[in-house]
């Protein structure tokens, strides 16, 4: 699996709108063949900070996700909501093995 953790810091006044837009994106993302999981979490101590946990079956699936209409719509919709540029880190799973993610 190819795992991407995306860290997002949203302006306070956009938290609810960001959550709504991101849930919609996550719902559609979870329907993609190349995605094993697409989770969206919010920090308890600072509710303006979020993490997207994107688990792809391979690198090509991650690239294909960036071409979907729901991702492009989300990207454009949330751009003004960011308090700072989002960051990401890429990972390879160790445990469970790939079959454990599906």
What is the pLDDT, as a whole number, of residue 100?
A: 79
What is the pLDDT, as a whole number, of residue 63?
A: 97
Report pLDDT digits (tens) over 3-60.
999 999 999 999 999 999 999 999 999 999 999 999 999 999 999 999 999 999 999 9
98 pLDDT exceeds 90? no
Q: Rounded to whole angstroms, what are the CA distances from 39 to 13, 56, 80?
A: 23, 12, 22
Q: Which domains does the chain possess?
A: 2-94 (3.30.70.100)
Alpha helices in the chain (DSSP H): 15-29, 59-65, 69-78
């Amino acid at each position: 699996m190819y795992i991407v953790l995306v860290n997002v810091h949203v302006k306070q006044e956009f938290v609810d709108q960001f959550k709504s837009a991101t849930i919609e994106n996550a719902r559609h993302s979870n329907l993609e063949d190349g995605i094993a999981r697409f989770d969206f979490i919010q920090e308890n101590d600072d509710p303006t900070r979020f993490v997207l946990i994107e688990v792809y079956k391979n690198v090509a699936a991650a690239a294909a996700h960036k071409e979907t209409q729901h991702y492009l719509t989300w990207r454009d919709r949330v751009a003004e909501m960011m308090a700072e540029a989002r960051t990401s880190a890429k990972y390879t799973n160790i445990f469970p093995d790939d079959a454990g993610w599906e």
